[in-house]
Every structure is written in C-alpha cells, then in structure tokens.
Structure 1
Amino acid sequence: MSILAGSQSRVLVQGMTGWAGRHYSSSMLDYGTKVVAGVTPGKAGMRFLDLPIYGDVATATREHRIDVSIVFVPPDHAGAAMIEAIEAEVPVIVTVTERVPLHDMLKVRAALAGSRSTLVGPNSQGILSPGQCKIGVMATASARPGRVGVISRSASLTSEVIAQISAAGLGQSTTVGIGGDPICGLTMHDCLSLFSKDRDTDGVVVIGEIGGSQEEELADFIAEARPKMPIVATVVGRCAPPKRRMGHAGAFAAAPSDADGKIRALERAGVTIAPSPHLIGETIRNALRHADGAASQVA
C-alpha cells in the first residue's frame, strides 16, 4: 500500500509537449507509471509519446479516468493549470513548477477550499512509491520498496536520504516532496496524518529546512495526535545567514522560525532528531528497532 498514488493510479501530464514534460513523462513511463494522456492548449488531437493530447483537463477527464495530474507548466501559467485540474475534480495534483507567483497561489488555495482535490506542491519533486509509480522528477536508482515514509521540502537531500534508507535495508513505502515554495498545498502534518493511517508504513523520516512554519505546525500535530510510529527528522539551514533567502523561494531564515527553533519544537514533540543529515538512515533504523523492542516487551 502507498499514500496518494500507487501502481493503479492513472496519470495526466499537463504541459506534456514541452521539454520538461516530455523528458519526465518518458521517465515516468519507463518506470511503469500509468501515464494515459497529456494536455497542451492548442495541440488537441495530436499524439505525443504515443499518447493522446487534449486541449484542456476537462476533456481529458471525460475520455479517461484520471487519478493524478502532474503540472509541468511555466510559472506564469501554472496557477491557471492547477485551478483547471481542481475544477475538473482530479483527486491528486502534483505541481513541479517552482516560484509560482504568490497571488496566483492564493487563487489556487481558494479553489482548493471545499474541492475534491489534494495539491502536492508547487516546487514539488513529486511522489515516489518504489516498484509502483513515479510521478515527478525524483531519482529512482537508490529507491527500494520498504516501510519507511519520507516527507521532504528538499529535493537534493531527498535523494541522499532515500539512498541511506535503502542502504540500511529498510526501503520506502512512499516519498512525498511537498515543495519549497512559500504557499503550498499538502503540508507536512497532512502528509504525516496519511502515513499514520497507512498499514504498510512503520516509521517516517521528515526533511525540513529554514523558512515558513511547517515544522512547528508538524510538531504541534505530533504533540496532539501522538502517532505510534517512530518519527526521525533533520532540519537543514542551521548556518544560513538571517534574513536571506537560500535556494527555495520559501527558504528564508528568520527567528523564531530558524533551523534551531524548528529542531527544538520537534524535539519537544518527541521526534528523534538525526545528529547529522548523513546519519538519517542509521537513526531511523535504530528508532524502528527500539520501537519493535518496546512492542515485544508490551506483548
């Protein structure tokens, strides 16, 4: 079992005929993901990668069952593309596009309210359920099926963490890149809530970074919900200079939401903090062993 998407998910690619859409659609198809169609305004009726292209999402959803849409659309049009998918009631929308204008994302957030859609992103590296589906731009060479969920704001560190978890003999149930832009859809605590209900996820790794308040909100959720599975976290950006954006549009060091403040909040909620990013695999392995030992003593 996985969260958000799995082996039977049928995927629509918005912006398939652009360079990024073509490149990553080919990669997703090669992985075995069920990409069924694409959308590019003005190109309805053509075939691309041997798949039908439609002029809009509504038409595509009338012709195919669509479970997930992935958006490879430039920033100035990405907001409209997301709203189009929301209005077509696509269940899960993954947006890879980075730096979508904030006013556009406010409109997207308003469209999401009360809708049937869940948005992952923008600035998301996607969803990866090893052996089932890849929806996005994540590297897959080190990914292995397993029982550790991964929630990440950092694309590059995600690849490193996946490799560590696989090397530790654990593997991943699903990895979700929630994105690094200031306004996004699915949050860290939304994602953890999904993992806590997944019978095939035994533990979760959280990759946080400076900027925003998602890690603090996650800590509040954990303190209240007290999920039974072990949770390991790292927060990068401890050496970032204050009041300077670092990489992602949403990565902005400003007290009290700097890296140390986020780490303290997570520790107070009972999260295990990895001593260093290069020790995440070892830390989640030890946390799972400790949890198994405690469960055996109770039994």
Structure 2
Amino acid sequence: MNFTADTRVLIQGITEPLAAAAVPLMQAYGTRVVAGVSPGFGGQVLAGIPVLDLVEQVLTQVGEVDATLIFVHPYRVLDAALEAIANGIRQIIIITEGMPPLDMVKLLQKAEASETLVVGPNCPGVIVPGQVLLGIHPAEVYTPGNIGLVSRSGTLTYEVAMELTQAGLGQSIAVGIGSDAIVGASFAQWLQILDEDETTEAIVLIGEIGGDSEEAAAQYIAEVIDKPVVAYVAGRAAPRGKPTGHAGAIIASQLSATREIIAYHTHLGTAESKIAAFKEAQVPVAERPSQIPVLLQQALQH
C-alpha cells in the first residue's frame, strides 16, 4: 500500500455520473488525477483531465500510473480491472456497487497472482487526510493524525471520523473495504498494513452484521496485531432473519438455506457473535460511535 500526495491516479469510467461528481472533489483535495479512460470518449478533456479510450494509451501519453479508481458499470468492472493489471497498475479501488460475485472471484485470482491490492467493490475508497483523496469520502470530516480507520460501511466511516476529529484524534488513513458479498483486501490484510504503518498508533475497526469477516478479524487481532484496536459493530437492533437496510451486509449470511440454518443455530453473522469475538480477543467494543474516542484514549494510555 502506497497512497501519498504524489500518487498518480487514473479514473476508469470518468464519464460516469458518480465519477463526474467525485473527481472535482478529489482534485480540490490535491489528488493528482493524471488521466481518465472511457471507451468512445477518447480525445476529450474533462476538468483539465485528458480522456483516452484505453489504459495502454494513458501510459504512453501521460506516463506511469500508481493507482486506478473504477466507476464503470458493474458488468464492466472485471474488464476494466484486468486491463489495469495487464498494464502494470497494482493498486485498484472499485467504487462501483453490485459487481457480479463470480467476476470478483476471477479478479481476485488475477490480483493475487500479480500482487495487486484491490479495494472494494461498493466502497468509498481511501483517504489519507491532508495528502490524498481516492474516492468519495467527505474530506471535511477528516483531519491528519495517527488513528487508522478500516470499515465495511461507508457512511459509518464518515461518522466515526467526525467523532474522532471533534475529539482531537486525527486519522492516518481511512479505508472502506466494501460491502458487496465478495470484496478485495480483507479486514485482516488492512489490519496488517496498519500494524506496520509508522504513522498509525491505533486502529478503529467498523463492522456490520452479516458474514464472518469480523469474527475472523478478531482472531487475527488476538494472534498477530500489536497496536491497540477498538471495534464498533453496526446492526445490534436489526431483527434476525428479516433483511432490512444495508442489504449487501445483511444478506451475506442468508445466501442459501444451509447458511440460514447455520446462522440460526450458531448466531454466525449476528452482532452478538461479532461482539463476543472481539471481547474474547480483548478488543474494546463501542456501543455507539460517540464512545469510540473515549475507548481509543483509554487504549492509548495503556
């Protein structure tokens, strides 16, 4: 992971509506967007950014690219990501929601073979406060500091960042790992990255109901992570067995009848299961976002 103020960024799907809204905000933050790709729109210039038809043309005309953000239609994400990998881009952030799961499986196989970091899909991206904005984070709620945020939820990341900022706790980086059924870099991978990051002194992990990624993260923290970690799990009040709200997270453990039976008898994927796993790993769990700064300050004092 290497996201800095010098990161040279490509936007794939730069003519898509969300990209058109996000790119000017990224530019205003100082992000170096060097080019955009949108087949059929090559030769245009948007917000001072040259638009080309192919990633290969970008490398020829503007030089090296360190990271790409993908905003294309869900069924075109795989092609866009594979094109980026084929041209040597090793940091891919997928903002698009609803990428087909089988496409994501294929992408992860190629990413692992090429040592490519994939963030998302269905995520707000990455922000290193004071340096670079890669995605759709509302930059105004962040401030530079030494607390790393890693989250499955976009909006909760913003809320927690605001709570930290108001408490005088700046952030070293904030990452939305994505909330589709299958995502790229996991909680465990980001925990390792943040544990090795010199600017990060403590970590906040923001989870949701559905799936078992938080339980796996709790075990990883207990076995590997040295830095203080504070957790928050959203969805305590969600009714069991009734899909509501953040569908990508909630139905993750309800994809088949077998999974539903397992979840019912083991509480797998429930808020209770995740909170219990964190507590067993001796990770403080906040009952609400406003409690996170207090738990962090306590953890940093030990």
| TM-score, normalisation: structure 2 | 0.91
Residue of structure 1 equivalent to 2:260 = none
Q: Where does 1:1-299 land on structure 2 (aligned, <5 Å)?
A: 4-63=2-61, 64-225=63-224, 227-245=225-243, 246-252=245-251, 254=263, 255-288=267-300, 290-291=301-302
TM superposition shift of 1:248 = 3.9
**Letter of the structure 1 residue corresponding to residue 231 of structure 2:** A
**Partners in 1 of 2:113 and 2:155 — Cα distance?**
33
Deviations 1:119-163 (A, max 9, x none): 000011010111100000011112100000000111111111001
| The structure with more helix, counted as a fraction of residues | 2
| 1:16/1:40 contact within 8 Å kept | yes
Q: Which runs of 5+ in 2 are unaligned?
A: 254-262
**Partners in 2 of 1:116 and 1:38 — Cα distance?**
23
Q: What secondary structure is seen at the aligned counterpart in 1 of 2:149?
A: strand
Q: Which moved more, 1:273-282 or 1:115-124?
A: 273-282
**Partners in 1 of 2:56 and 2:283 — Cα distance?**
43
| 2:212/2:268 contact within 8 Å kept | no
Decide whether aligned partners of structure 1 residues 244 and 100 sit closer, same or farther in structure 2, where only a CA change above 3 A counts. Answer: farther
Q: Which runs of 5+ in 1 are unaligned?
A: 292-299
**Partners in 1 of 2:198 and 2:228 — Cα distance?**
14
**Partners in 2 of 1:134 and 1:220 — Cα distance?**
31
| 2:124/2:135 contact within 8 Å kept | yes
TM superposition shift of 1:258 = 1.0
Deviations 1:62-107 (A, max 9, x none): 3321111001112121222122222222121001111111122122
TM superposition shift of 1:54 = 1.4
Decide whether aligned partners of structure 1 residues 49 and 175 sit closer, same or farther in structure 2, where only a CA change above 3 A counts. Answer: same
**Equivalenced residues, count:** 287
**Letter of the structure 1 residue corresponding to residue 115 of structure 2:** R
Q: Which moved more, 1:252-261 or 1:184-193?
A: 252-261
Q: What secondary structure is seen at the aligned counterpart in 1 of 2:274?
A: helix
**Letter of the structure 2 residue corresponding to residue 280 of structure 1:** I
Quote the sequence identity (%): 36
Aligned alpha-carbon RMSD (Å): 1.5
Residue of structure 2 equivalent to 1:297 = none
TM superposition shift of 1:21 = 1.2
**Partners in 2 of 1:61 and 1:69 — Cα distance?**
12
**Partners in 1 of 2:297 and 2:60 — Cα distance?**
46
Q: What secondary structure is seen at the aligned counterpart in 2 of 1:42?
A: coil
